Protein backbone atom coordinates (compact mmCIF):
# COMPACT_ATOMS: atom_id res chain seq x y z
CA UNK A 1 0.00 0.00 0.00
CA UNK A 2 1.41 3.36 -1.00
CA UNK A 3 0.89 5.98 1.65
CA UNK A 4 -0.65 9.22 0.43
CA UNK A 5 0.18 11.87 2.96
CA UNK A 6 -1.32 15.35 3.28
CA UNK A 7 0.61 17.80 5.48
CA UNK A 8 -1.13 20.94 6.70
CA UNK A 9 1.32 23.83 6.53
CA UNK A 10 1.82 26.01 9.59
CA UNK A 11 2.56 29.63 8.73
CA UNK A 12 1.85 33.20 9.78
CA UNK A 13 0.64 34.39 6.39
CA UNK A 14 4.14 35.25 5.24
CA UNK A 15 6.58 32.66 6.42
CA UNK A 16 6.32 28.89 6.47
CA UNK A 17 6.99 27.61 9.98
CA UNK A 18 9.89 25.19 10.25
CA UNK A 19 7.52 22.71 11.90
CA UNK A 20 6.18 21.96 8.41
CA UNK A 21 9.63 20.92 7.14
CA UNK A 22 9.88 18.59 10.13
CA UNK A 23 6.51 17.04 9.23
CA UNK A 24 7.89 16.45 5.72
CA UNK A 25 10.85 14.56 7.23
CA UNK A 26 8.43 12.46 9.23
CA UNK A 27 6.43 11.68 6.07
CA UNK A 28 9.62 10.93 4.10
CA UNK A 29 10.51 8.20 6.59
CA UNK A 30 7.88 6.11 4.78
CA UNK A 31 9.60 4.97 1.60
CA UNK A 32 7.62 5.68 -1.55
CA UNK A 33 5.03 7.87 0.14
CA UNK A 34 3.32 10.50 -1.98
CA UNK A 35 3.62 13.73 0.02
CA UNK A 36 1.49 16.80 -0.53
CA UNK A 37 1.47 20.05 1.47
CA UNK A 38 -1.70 22.11 1.84
CA UNK A 39 -1.38 25.85 2.42
CA UNK A 40 -4.61 27.44 3.62
CA UNK A 41 -4.19 31.22 3.70
CA UNK A 42 -5.76 34.52 2.72
CA UNK A 43 -2.94 34.95 0.20
CA UNK A 44 -1.05 31.68 -0.20
CA UNK A 45 1.52 32.46 -2.92
CA UNK A 46 4.49 33.37 -0.73
CA UNK A 47 4.10 30.52 1.73
CA UNK A 48 3.37 28.01 -1.06
CA UNK A 49 6.57 29.03 -2.85
CA UNK A 50 8.56 28.31 0.32
CA UNK A 51 6.80 24.97 0.79
CA UNK A 52 7.44 23.94 -2.81
CA UNK A 53 11.19 24.11 -2.18
CA UNK A 54 11.10 21.34 0.40
CA UNK A 55 12.56 18.11 -0.92
CA UNK A 56 10.40 15.12 -1.69
CA UNK A 57 7.00 16.65 -2.37
CA UNK A 58 4.57 15.56 -5.09
CA UNK A 59 2.85 18.96 -5.05
CA UNK A 60 1.66 21.88 -2.97
CA UNK A 61 -2.04 22.70 -2.78
CA UNK A 62 -3.21 26.22 -1.99
CA UNK A 63 -6.62 27.15 -0.64
CA UNK A 64 -7.17 30.89 -0.59
CA UNK A 65 -9.93 32.48 1.43
CA UNK A 66 -10.04 35.72 3.39
CA UNK A 67 -11.41 33.66 6.31
CA UNK A 68 -7.99 32.01 6.49
CA UNK A 69 -6.21 35.24 7.44
CA UNK A 70 -5.86 33.88 10.98
CA UNK A 71 -5.41 30.21 11.77
CA UNK A 72 -8.73 29.35 13.40
CA UNK A 73 -9.20 25.61 13.86
CA UNK A 74 -12.97 25.82 13.42
CA UNK A 75 -12.51 27.56 10.05
CA UNK A 76 -9.56 25.54 8.78
CA UNK A 77 -10.81 22.10 9.82
CA UNK A 78 -13.65 21.75 7.28
CA UNK A 79 -11.26 22.81 4.50
CA UNK A 80 -8.59 20.32 5.55
CA UNK A 81 -11.22 17.60 5.92
CA UNK A 82 -12.39 18.30 2.35
CA UNK A 83 -8.82 18.17 1.02
CA UNK A 84 -8.16 14.94 2.93
CA UNK A 85 -10.45 12.74 0.81
CA UNK A 86 -7.79 11.03 -1.38
CA UNK A 87 -5.18 10.72 1.39
CA UNK A 88 -4.43 7.88 3.80
CA UNK A 89 -2.59 9.98 6.37
CA UNK A 90 -3.21 13.62 7.29
CA UNK A 91 -0.44 15.25 9.30
CA UNK A 92 0.12 18.53 11.09
CA UNK A 93 2.83 19.58 13.53
CA UNK A 94 2.40 18.95 17.25
CA UNK A 95 2.53 22.68 17.95
CA UNK A 96 -0.37 24.60 19.45
CA UNK A 97 -1.49 25.30 15.86
CA UNK A 98 -1.45 21.64 14.84
CA UNK A 99 -2.77 20.19 18.08
CA UNK A 100 -5.72 22.58 18.04
CA UNK A 101 -6.53 21.94 14.37
CA UNK A 102 -5.79 18.28 13.66
CA UNK A 103 -8.01 16.78 16.37
CA UNK A 104 -10.90 18.85 14.99
CA UNK A 105 -10.10 17.47 11.54
CA UNK A 106 -10.09 13.95 13.01
CA UNK A 107 -13.52 14.61 14.50
CA UNK A 108 -14.90 15.76 11.15
CA UNK A 109 -13.38 12.77 9.36
CA UNK A 110 -14.47 10.31 12.06
CA UNK A 111 -10.86 9.11 11.95
CA UNK A 112 -8.50 8.13 14.75
CA UNK A 113 -5.68 10.55 15.59
CA UNK A 114 -2.18 9.56 16.59
CA UNK A 115 -0.81 12.46 18.66
CA UNK A 116 2.90 13.34 18.87
CA UNK A 117 4.22 10.86 16.31
CA UNK A 118 7.92 10.25 17.02
CA UNK A 119 8.37 7.51 14.40
CA UNK A 120 6.40 6.00 11.53
CA UNK A 121 7.16 2.31 11.25
CA UNK A 122 4.72 1.50 8.46
CA UNK A 123 1.75 3.27 6.85
CA UNK A 124 -0.36 1.99 9.75
CA UNK A 125 2.14 1.71 12.61
CA UNK A 126 3.34 4.64 14.71
CA UNK A 127 5.32 5.29 17.86
CA UNK A 128 4.47 8.05 20.31
CA UNK A 129 5.36 9.09 23.85
CA UNK A 130 2.76 8.85 26.62
CA UNK A 131 2.85 9.66 30.35
CA UNK A 132 5.07 12.71 29.73
CA UNK A 133 7.52 10.57 27.79
CA UNK A 134 7.85 7.92 30.50
CA UNK A 135 6.60 5.25 28.12
CA UNK A 136 6.72 4.84 24.37
CA UNK A 137 3.58 3.39 22.82
CA UNK A 138 3.39 1.66 19.45
CA UNK A 139 -0.07 1.87 17.88
CA UNK A 140 -1.46 0.22 14.78
CA UNK A 141 -4.41 1.47 12.80
CA UNK A 142 -6.54 -0.73 10.60
CA UNK A 143 -5.23 -0.60 7.05
CA UNK A 144 -8.58 0.44 5.60
CA UNK A 145 -9.13 3.73 7.37
CA UNK A 146 -7.68 7.17 7.19
CA UNK A 147 -5.43 8.30 10.06
CA UNK A 148 -4.84 11.83 11.34
CA UNK A 149 -1.61 12.58 13.14
CA UNK A 150 0.37 15.31 14.83
CA UNK A 151 4.11 15.13 14.42
CA UNK A 152 6.40 15.55 17.42
CA UNK A 153 8.65 18.07 15.72
CA UNK A 154 11.62 17.50 18.06
CA UNK A 155 11.88 13.93 16.71
CA UNK A 156 12.58 15.01 13.13
CA UNK A 157 15.14 17.27 11.46
CA UNK A 158 13.67 19.78 8.99
CA UNK A 159 13.51 18.35 5.46
CA UNK A 160 16.15 19.83 3.18
CA UNK A 161 15.38 22.33 0.42
CA UNK A 162 16.19 22.00 -3.23
CA UNK A 163 12.76 20.82 -4.34
CA UNK A 164 10.53 22.42 -6.94
CA UNK A 165 7.10 20.91 -6.42
CA UNK A 166 4.26 22.11 -8.62
CA UNK A 167 1.76 24.43 -6.91
CA UNK A 168 -1.94 23.87 -7.58
CA UNK A 169 -4.80 26.15 -6.57
CA UNK A 170 -7.77 24.34 -5.14
CA UNK A 171 -11.24 25.87 -4.94
CA UNK A 172 -13.25 24.36 -2.11
CA UNK A 173 -16.97 24.63 -1.73
CA UNK A 174 -17.40 24.03 1.97
CA UNK A 175 -19.39 26.22 4.36
CA UNK A 176 -17.17 27.94 6.92
CA UNK A 177 -18.47 28.86 10.37
CA UNK A 178 -18.64 32.46 11.60
CA UNK A 179 -19.02 31.46 15.25
CA UNK A 180 -15.30 31.84 16.03
CA UNK A 181 -13.55 35.18 15.63
CA UNK A 182 -9.93 36.20 16.00
CA UNK A 183 -9.48 39.18 18.32
CA UNK A 184 -5.74 39.62 18.90
CA UNK A 185 -2.43 38.00 19.55
CA UNK A 186 0.19 39.42 21.85
CA UNK A 187 3.72 38.18 21.67
CA UNK A 188 6.77 39.73 23.22
CA UNK A 189 8.94 41.08 20.45
CA UNK A 190 12.39 39.59 20.66
CA UNK A 191 15.49 39.58 18.50
CA UNK A 192 16.58 36.31 20.05
CA UNK A 193 16.30 33.03 18.12
CA UNK A 194 12.97 31.26 18.18
CA UNK A 195 12.78 28.82 21.10
CA UNK A 196 11.46 25.96 18.97
CA UNK A 197 14.17 26.14 16.33
CA UNK A 198 17.17 27.56 18.19
CA UNK A 199 20.40 25.57 18.23
CA UNK A 200 21.13 26.80 21.75
CA UNK A 201 18.67 27.35 24.56
CA UNK A 202 19.26 28.83 28.02
CA UNK A 203 16.42 27.99 30.40
CA UNK A 204 15.69 29.26 33.88
CA UNK A 205 13.70 27.87 36.78
CA UNK A 206 12.25 28.91 40.09
CA UNK A 207 15.69 29.35 41.63
CA UNK A 208 16.09 32.59 39.67
CA UNK A 209 13.77 34.00 42.34
CA UNK A 210 12.25 36.98 40.52
CA UNK A 211 11.43 38.37 37.09
CA UNK A 212 14.26 40.85 37.58
CA UNK A 213 16.81 38.19 38.44
CA UNK A 214 15.61 36.11 35.48
CA UNK A 215 17.03 38.82 33.21
CA UNK A 216 20.58 37.65 33.80
CA UNK A 217 19.69 34.75 31.50
CA UNK A 218 18.92 37.14 28.65
CA UNK A 219 22.36 38.64 28.81
CA UNK A 220 24.02 35.22 28.76
CA UNK A 221 21.69 34.07 25.96
CA UNK A 222 22.62 37.08 23.86
CA UNK A 223 26.32 36.33 24.26
CA UNK A 224 25.70 32.74 23.11
CA UNK A 225 23.15 33.55 20.41
CA UNK A 226 20.70 31.40 22.35
CA UNK A 227 16.95 31.41 22.82
CA UNK A 228 15.56 31.65 26.35
CA UNK A 229 13.22 29.12 27.88
CA UNK A 230 11.70 28.58 31.30
CA UNK A 231 10.34 25.85 33.53
CA UNK A 232 6.69 25.77 34.42
CA UNK A 233 7.55 26.94 37.93
CA UNK A 234 9.26 30.04 36.54
CA UNK A 235 6.32 30.83 34.26
CA UNK A 236 3.76 30.23 37.02
CA UNK A 237 5.74 32.57 39.28
CA UNK A 238 5.63 35.26 36.59
CA UNK A 239 9.38 35.34 35.92
CA UNK A 240 8.85 34.56 32.23
CA UNK A 241 5.91 34.64 29.77
CA UNK A 242 3.99 31.46 28.88
CA UNK A 243 5.47 31.12 25.39
CA UNK A 244 8.83 30.37 27.01
CA UNK A 245 7.61 27.29 28.87
CA UNK A 246 9.44 24.10 28.02
CA UNK A 247 7.98 20.71 28.93
CA UNK A 248 5.05 18.32 28.67
CA UNK A 249 2.52 21.10 28.44
CA UNK A 250 4.80 23.72 26.95
CA UNK A 251 7.25 23.40 24.11
CA UNK A 252 9.09 20.21 23.22
CA UNK A 253 12.49 21.21 21.87
CA UNK A 254 15.64 19.56 20.52
CA UNK A 255 18.48 22.09 20.51
CA UNK A 256 22.16 21.25 20.12
CA UNK A 257 22.79 22.74 23.55
CA UNK A 258 20.33 23.10 26.41
CA UNK A 259 21.47 24.87 29.55
CA UNK A 260 19.11 24.37 32.51
CA UNK A 261 19.79 26.97 35.16
CA UNK A 262 18.13 26.68 38.55
CA UNK A 263 15.73 24.06 37.20
CA UNK A 264 15.20 21.03 39.45
CA UNK A 265 14.10 18.83 36.55
CA UNK A 266 10.55 17.59 37.14
CA UNK A 267 9.58 14.76 34.81
CA UNK A 268 7.18 17.14 33.06
CA UNK A 269 10.12 19.42 32.22
CA UNK A 270 12.52 16.65 31.20
CA UNK A 271 10.09 15.37 28.59
CA UNK A 272 10.46 18.68 26.79
CA UNK A 273 14.26 18.46 26.48
CA UNK A 274 15.18 14.79 26.18
CA UNK A 275 16.03 15.19 22.49
CA UNK A 276 18.53 17.95 23.17
CA UNK A 277 21.99 16.91 21.94
CA UNK A 278 23.81 18.16 25.05
CA UNK A 279 22.18 19.10 28.34
CA UNK A 280 24.03 21.27 30.85
CA UNK A 281 22.61 21.64 34.34
CA UNK A 282 23.57 24.34 36.81
CA UNK A 283 21.91 23.94 40.19
CA UNK A 284 22.89 24.40 43.80
CA UNK A 285 21.13 21.16 44.83
CA UNK A 286 23.46 18.32 43.89
CA UNK A 287 20.55 15.86 44.25
CA UNK A 288 18.29 17.66 41.75
CA UNK A 289 16.83 15.22 39.19
CA UNK A 290 18.06 17.42 36.34
CA UNK A 291 21.56 15.98 36.99
CA UNK A 292 20.28 12.51 36.05
CA UNK A 293 19.82 13.61 32.45
CA UNK A 294 22.55 16.24 32.23
CA UNK A 295 25.63 15.53 30.09
CA UNK A 296 27.51 18.16 32.06
CA UNK A 297 26.53 19.10 35.60
CA UNK A 298 27.77 21.97 37.71
CA UNK A 299 26.69 22.29 41.34
CA UNK A 300 26.82 25.80 42.66
CA UNK A 301 25.25 29.23 43.02
CA UNK A 302 23.92 30.32 39.66
CA UNK A 303 24.28 33.99 40.60
CA UNK A 304 28.05 33.50 40.76
CA UNK A 305 28.38 30.96 37.97
CA UNK A 306 26.52 32.87 35.25
CA UNK A 307 28.60 36.07 35.55
CA UNK A 308 31.73 33.89 35.62
CA UNK A 309 30.67 32.13 32.39
CA UNK A 310 29.94 35.48 30.79
CA UNK A 311 33.39 36.80 31.70
CA UNK A 312 35.05 33.65 30.36
CA UNK A 313 33.34 33.71 26.99
CA UNK A 314 33.87 37.45 26.73
CA UNK B 1 -31.32 26.40 33.48
CA UNK B 2 -27.84 27.78 32.74
CA UNK B 3 -25.62 24.74 32.93
CA UNK B 4 -21.93 24.04 32.50
CA UNK B 5 -20.77 20.54 31.66
CA UNK B 6 -17.26 19.58 32.74
CA UNK B 7 -15.55 16.43 31.51
CA UNK B 8 -13.13 14.70 33.86
CA UNK B 9 -10.87 11.69 33.55
CA UNK B 10 -9.41 9.32 36.13
CA UNK B 11 -5.65 9.12 35.61
CA UNK B 12 -2.53 7.93 37.39
CA UNK B 13 -1.59 10.71 39.82
CA UNK B 14 1.00 13.11 38.41
CA UNK B 15 3.43 12.34 41.24
CA UNK B 16 3.58 8.62 40.49
CA UNK B 17 6.74 7.39 38.81
CA UNK B 18 5.49 5.56 35.73
CA UNK B 19 6.91 2.12 35.02
CA UNK B 20 6.29 -0.01 31.97
CA UNK B 21 5.28 -3.63 32.62
CA UNK B 22 8.10 -6.05 31.81
CA UNK B 23 5.99 -7.76 29.12
CA UNK B 24 5.29 -4.44 27.39
CA UNK B 25 1.53 -4.82 27.70
CA UNK B 26 1.00 -1.52 29.49
CA UNK B 27 2.18 0.56 32.41
CA UNK B 28 1.89 -0.56 36.02
CA UNK B 29 -1.31 0.80 37.54
CA UNK B 30 -1.95 -1.78 40.27
CA UNK B 31 -1.86 -0.17 43.70
CA UNK B 32 -0.96 3.17 42.17
CA UNK B 33 -2.60 6.41 43.34
CA UNK B 34 -5.30 7.60 40.93
CA UNK B 35 -6.56 11.18 40.68
CA UNK B 36 -8.67 13.54 38.65
CA UNK B 37 -6.61 14.61 35.63
CA UNK B 38 -5.03 17.93 36.77
CA UNK B 39 -6.23 19.87 33.72
CA UNK B 40 -9.78 18.64 34.35
CA UNK B 41 -9.56 19.93 37.92
CA UNK B 42 -8.72 23.33 36.45
CA UNK B 43 -11.69 22.99 34.08
CA UNK B 44 -13.98 22.20 37.01
CA UNK B 45 -12.58 25.05 39.13
CA UNK B 46 -13.36 27.49 36.32
CA UNK B 47 -16.93 26.20 36.04
CA UNK B 48 -17.41 26.51 39.81
CA UNK B 49 -16.12 30.09 39.79
CA UNK B 50 -18.50 31.00 36.96
CA UNK B 51 -21.38 29.57 38.98
CA UNK B 52 -20.22 31.32 42.16
CA UNK B 53 -20.28 34.70 40.46
CA UNK B 54 -23.83 34.01 39.28
CA UNK B 55 -23.20 33.40 35.58
CA UNK B 56 -24.32 29.76 35.75
CA UNK B 57 -26.82 27.87 37.87
CA UNK B 58 -25.54 24.31 37.76
CA UNK B 59 -22.23 22.53 37.23
CA UNK B 60 -22.40 18.94 35.97
CA UNK B 61 -19.35 16.67 35.82
CA UNK B 62 -19.18 13.72 33.48
CA UNK B 63 -16.76 10.92 32.81
CA UNK B 64 -16.52 7.88 30.58
CA UNK B 65 -14.79 4.85 32.05
CA UNK B 66 -14.88 1.85 34.39
CA UNK B 67 -16.74 1.77 37.76
CA UNK B 68 -13.66 3.03 39.66
CA UNK B 69 -14.09 6.41 37.97
CA UNK B 70 -16.87 7.14 40.43
CA UNK B 71 -14.18 7.95 43.02
CA UNK B 72 -13.05 10.84 40.85
CA UNK B 73 -16.64 11.92 40.22
CA UNK B 74 -17.12 12.05 44.01
CA UNK B 75 -13.98 14.16 44.30
CA UNK B 76 -15.46 16.52 41.72
CA UNK B 77 -18.73 16.65 43.65
CA UNK B 78 -16.74 17.41 46.80
CA UNK B 79 -15.04 20.27 44.99
CA UNK B 80 -18.50 21.70 44.38
CA UNK B 81 -20.09 20.18 41.28
CA UNK B 82 -23.86 19.78 41.67
CA UNK B 83 -24.27 16.36 40.07
CA UNK B 84 -22.34 13.74 38.19
CA UNK B 85 -22.90 11.59 35.11
CA UNK B 86 -20.99 8.37 34.65
CA UNK B 87 -20.92 6.65 31.28
CA UNK B 88 -19.63 3.17 32.00
CA UNK B 89 -17.12 1.64 29.65
CA UNK B 90 -14.17 -0.70 30.01
CA UNK B 91 -11.01 -1.27 28.03
CA UNK B 92 -9.46 1.24 25.66
CA UNK B 93 -11.76 4.22 25.23
CA UNK B 94 -10.64 6.42 22.36
CA UNK B 95 -11.26 10.18 22.19
CA UNK B 96 -13.89 9.73 19.45
CA UNK B 97 -15.91 7.45 21.74
CA UNK B 98 -15.59 9.85 24.69
CA UNK B 99 -16.61 12.78 22.50
CA UNK B 100 -19.66 10.89 21.19
CA UNK B 101 -20.71 10.05 24.73
CA UNK B 102 -20.25 13.65 25.87
CA UNK B 103 -22.26 14.83 22.88
CA UNK B 104 -25.16 12.60 23.97
CA UNK B 105 -24.95 14.14 27.44
CA UNK B 106 -24.87 17.61 25.91
CA UNK B 107 -28.05 16.86 23.96
CA UNK B 108 -29.67 15.79 27.21
CA UNK B 109 -28.43 18.60 29.46
CA UNK B 110 -28.19 21.50 26.99
CA UNK B 111 -25.22 23.25 28.63
CA UNK B 112 -24.22 26.71 27.41
CA UNK B 113 -20.60 25.91 28.08
CA UNK B 114 -18.51 22.74 28.08
CA UNK B 115 -15.10 22.85 29.75
CA UNK B 116 -12.51 20.07 29.56
CA UNK B 117 -8.84 19.81 30.40
CA UNK B 118 -6.57 20.42 27.43
CA UNK B 119 -5.06 16.95 27.69
CA UNK B 120 -4.98 13.95 29.99
CA UNK B 121 -1.60 13.33 31.57
CA UNK B 122 -1.76 9.57 30.95
CA UNK B 123 -2.19 9.15 27.19
CA UNK B 124 -1.25 12.79 26.45
CA UNK B 125 -3.63 12.69 23.46
CA UNK B 126 -5.05 16.19 23.78
CA UNK B 127 -7.92 15.48 21.40
CA UNK B 128 -11.25 15.11 23.15
CA UNK B 129 -12.22 18.80 23.33
CA UNK B 130 -11.52 19.45 19.67
CA UNK B 131 -13.19 16.22 18.52
CA UNK B 132 -16.26 17.06 20.60
CA UNK B 133 -16.43 20.59 19.16
CA UNK B 134 -16.21 19.13 15.64
CA UNK B 135 -18.98 16.57 16.23
CA UNK B 136 -21.14 19.20 17.93
CA UNK B 137 -20.38 21.71 15.15
CA UNK B 138 -19.67 24.39 17.76
CA UNK B 139 -16.68 26.68 18.48
CA UNK B 140 -13.61 25.50 20.34
CA UNK B 141 -11.15 27.55 22.33
CA UNK B 142 -8.29 25.35 23.44
CA UNK B 143 -5.44 26.04 25.92
CA UNK B 144 -7.46 28.72 27.74
CA UNK B 145 -5.68 30.83 30.33
CA UNK B 146 -8.51 33.36 30.73
CA UNK B 147 -12.23 33.10 30.13
CA UNK B 148 -14.70 35.99 30.13
CA UNK B 149 -18.41 35.54 29.44
CA UNK B 150 -20.49 38.36 28.04
CA UNK B 151 -24.04 37.66 26.90
CA UNK B 152 -23.98 34.99 24.26
CA UNK B 153 -20.24 34.99 23.70
CA UNK B 154 -17.04 34.01 25.44
CA UNK B 155 -13.77 35.86 25.12
CA UNK B 156 -10.96 33.39 25.63
CA UNK B 157 -7.25 34.06 26.01
CA UNK B 158 -5.28 31.09 24.73
CA UNK B 159 -1.70 30.06 25.47
CA UNK B 160 -0.23 29.50 22.01
CA UNK B 161 3.36 29.05 20.82
CA UNK B 162 3.58 32.70 19.77
CA UNK B 163 2.29 34.08 23.07
CA UNK B 164 -1.30 34.84 24.05
CA UNK B 165 -4.10 34.76 21.50
CA UNK B 166 -7.60 36.06 22.17
CA UNK B 167 -10.64 34.61 20.43
CA UNK B 168 -14.29 35.48 20.65
CA UNK B 169 -16.63 32.51 20.32
CA UNK B 170 -20.40 32.24 20.23
CA UNK B 171 -21.97 30.07 22.91
CA UNK B 172 -22.43 27.21 23.36
CA UNK B 173 -18.78 26.35 22.92
CA UNK B 174 -16.11 23.92 24.07
CA UNK B 175 -13.25 25.37 26.12
CA UNK B 176 -10.15 23.39 27.09
CA UNK B 177 -8.27 24.50 30.19
CA UNK B 178 -4.55 25.21 30.34
CA UNK B 179 -2.44 25.36 33.50
CA UNK B 180 -2.74 29.03 34.26
CA UNK B 181 -6.51 29.39 33.92
CA UNK B 182 -6.84 29.16 37.71
CA UNK B 183 -5.62 27.31 40.76
CA UNK B 184 -8.07 24.61 41.83
CA UNK B 185 -9.39 24.67 45.39
CA UNK B 186 -8.63 22.01 47.96
CA UNK B 187 -11.41 19.68 48.99
CA UNK B 188 -12.46 19.97 52.63
CA UNK B 189 -13.53 16.98 54.69
CA UNK B 190 -17.16 18.13 55.27
CA UNK B 191 -17.49 18.56 51.51
CA UNK B 192 -16.41 14.95 50.98
CA UNK B 193 -19.23 13.87 53.32
CA UNK B 194 -21.73 16.11 51.52
CA UNK B 195 -20.59 14.81 48.13
CA UNK B 196 -21.73 11.30 49.05
CA UNK B 197 -25.33 12.52 48.97
CA UNK B 198 -25.12 14.37 45.67
CA UNK B 199 -26.77 12.73 42.64
CA UNK B 200 -24.63 10.46 40.46
CA UNK B 201 -26.33 8.90 37.45
CA UNK B 202 -24.88 6.04 35.47
CA UNK B 203 -25.34 5.12 31.83
CA UNK B 204 -23.87 2.55 29.51
CA UNK B 205 -22.44 3.39 26.12
CA UNK B 206 -24.99 1.04 24.59
CA UNK B 207 -27.87 2.84 26.29
CA UNK B 208 -26.60 6.08 24.74
CA UNK B 209 -26.50 4.33 21.36
CA UNK B 210 -22.72 4.46 21.07
CA UNK B 211 -20.54 1.70 19.73
CA UNK B 212 -17.20 1.34 21.54
CA UNK B 213 -14.99 1.28 18.49
CA UNK B 214 -11.25 0.93 18.92
CA UNK B 215 -9.50 2.16 15.80
CA UNK B 216 -5.94 2.14 17.12
CA UNK B 217 -4.56 -1.12 18.45
CA UNK B 218 -2.07 -0.68 21.31
CA UNK B 219 0.73 -2.92 20.09
CA UNK B 220 3.37 -2.47 22.78
CA UNK B 221 4.65 -0.22 25.54
CA UNK B 222 8.35 0.37 26.03
CA UNK B 223 10.39 2.34 28.52
CA UNK B 224 11.96 5.44 26.96
CA UNK B 225 15.62 5.33 25.95
CA UNK B 226 17.83 6.51 28.83
CA UNK B 227 20.39 9.24 28.41
CA UNK B 228 23.95 8.28 29.25
CA UNK B 229 25.23 9.42 32.60
CA UNK B 230 27.09 12.69 32.26
CA UNK B 231 30.08 14.26 33.95
CA UNK B 232 30.33 16.79 36.77
CA UNK B 233 32.52 19.85 36.46
CA UNK B 234 33.62 21.97 39.41
CA UNK B 235 33.40 25.53 38.12
CA UNK B 236 32.54 27.80 35.23
CA UNK B 237 36.00 27.45 33.66
CA UNK B 238 35.73 23.65 33.54
CA UNK B 239 32.25 23.96 32.10
CA UNK B 240 33.51 26.19 29.29
CA UNK B 241 36.34 23.71 28.60
CA UNK B 242 33.89 20.79 28.47
CA UNK B 243 31.65 22.67 26.04
CA UNK B 244 34.62 23.59 23.85
CA UNK B 245 35.72 19.95 23.76
CA UNK B 246 32.28 19.01 22.46
CA UNK B 247 32.55 21.73 19.83
CA UNK B 248 29.64 23.61 21.36
CA UNK B 249 31.49 26.86 21.97
Q: How confident is the model at residue A314 (pLDDT cuts 50, 70, 90)?
A: confident
Nearest to A139 among B127, B216, B240 (CB): B216
**Domain final residue, candidates A169, A189, A212:** A169
Q: Do B132 and A107 touch (CB under 8 A)?
A: yes
Q: Each residue of A73-99: pLDDT tens digit? A: 999 999 999 999 999 999 999 999 999
Higher pLDDT, A52 or A191: A52
Q: Does the pLDDT value for residue A1 go beyond 80?
A: no
pTM of the model: 0.95
Higher pLDDT, A314 or B9: B9
Alpha carbon distance A290, A47 (integer Å): 40
Does A248 share its domain with A145? no
Structural domain count of chain A: 2
Residues in B 92-131 with any Cβ partner in A closer than 8 A: 94-96, 99, 118-119, 121-131
Whether A191 is in a domain gets the answer no
Whether A298 is in a domain gets the answer yes
Per DSSP, the three-state class of B223 is coil
Whether A195 is in a domain gets the answer no
CATH class for the domain made up of B3-245 = alpha beta
Across A22-51, b (16+ Cβ under 10 Å) vs e yields bbbbbbbebeebbbbbbbbbeebeebbebb
Percent of chain B with pLDDT over 90: 97
The closest of B237, B221, B195, B191 to B26, measured between CA atoms, is B221
Higher pLDDT, A1 or B150: B150
Which ipTM score applies to this complex? Answer: 0.96
Predicted pLDDT at B48? 98
Predicted pLDDT at B151? 87
Q: Which residues pair with B163 in a beta bridge?
A: B160
**Domain final residue, candidates A169, A184, A216:** A169
Does A12 share its domain with A161? yes
Q: Do A236 and B179 touch (CB under 8 A)?
A: yes
Residue A285 sits in a domain of what CATH number?
Answer: 3.40.50.1220
Contact B4, B112 (CB under 8 A): yes
Between A184-188, A247-251, A277-281, the lowest mean confidence (pLDDT) is in A184-188
Whether A22 is in a domain gets the answer yes
Provide mean pLDDT across the span B25-52: 97
Chain A positions in Cβ-Cβ contact with residue B152 (cut-off 8 Å)? none
| Phi, psi for residue A207 in degrees, rounded to 5 | -65, -15
Does A223 share its domain with A85? no
Which residue in B121, B215, B240, B249 has the most chain A C-beta atoms within 10 A of its own C-beta, making it the best mutation to test that interface?
Answer: B215
Does A135 share its domain with A273? no
Does A76 share its domain with A216? no
Provide mean pLDDT across the span B30-51: 97
- The structural domains of chain B, with segments of one domain joined by +, span 3-245
Chain A positions in Cβ-Cβ contact with residue B12 (cut-off 8 Å)? 131
**Domain final residue, candidates A119, A150, A169:** A169
Domain of A75, in residue numbers: 4-169
Contact A125, A140 (CB under 8 A): yes
From start to end of chain A, where are the E strands?
4-8, 34-41, 59-64, 89-93, 113-117, 119-122, 125-130, 135-141, 147-151, 167-169, 180-186, 200-204, 227-230, 257-261, 278-283, 296-299
Q: Does the pLDDT value for residue A60 go beyond 90?
A: yes
Amino acid sequence: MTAKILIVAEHDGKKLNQSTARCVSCARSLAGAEIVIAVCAADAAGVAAQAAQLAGLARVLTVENSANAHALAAVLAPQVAALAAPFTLVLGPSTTFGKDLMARVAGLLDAPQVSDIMAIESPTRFRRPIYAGNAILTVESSAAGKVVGTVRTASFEPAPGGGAAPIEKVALDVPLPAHTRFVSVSAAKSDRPDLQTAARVISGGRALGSADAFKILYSLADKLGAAVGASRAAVDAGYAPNEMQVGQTGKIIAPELYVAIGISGAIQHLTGIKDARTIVAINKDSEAPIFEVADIGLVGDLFQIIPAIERLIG
Amino acid sequence: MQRILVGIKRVVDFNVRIRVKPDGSGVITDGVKMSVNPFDEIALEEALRIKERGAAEEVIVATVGPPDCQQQLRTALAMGADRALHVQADGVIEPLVVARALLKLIEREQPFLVILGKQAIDDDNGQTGQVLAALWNRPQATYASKLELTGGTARVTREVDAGLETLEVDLPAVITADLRLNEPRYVKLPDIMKAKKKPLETFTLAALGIEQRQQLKLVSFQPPPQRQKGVRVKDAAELIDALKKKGLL
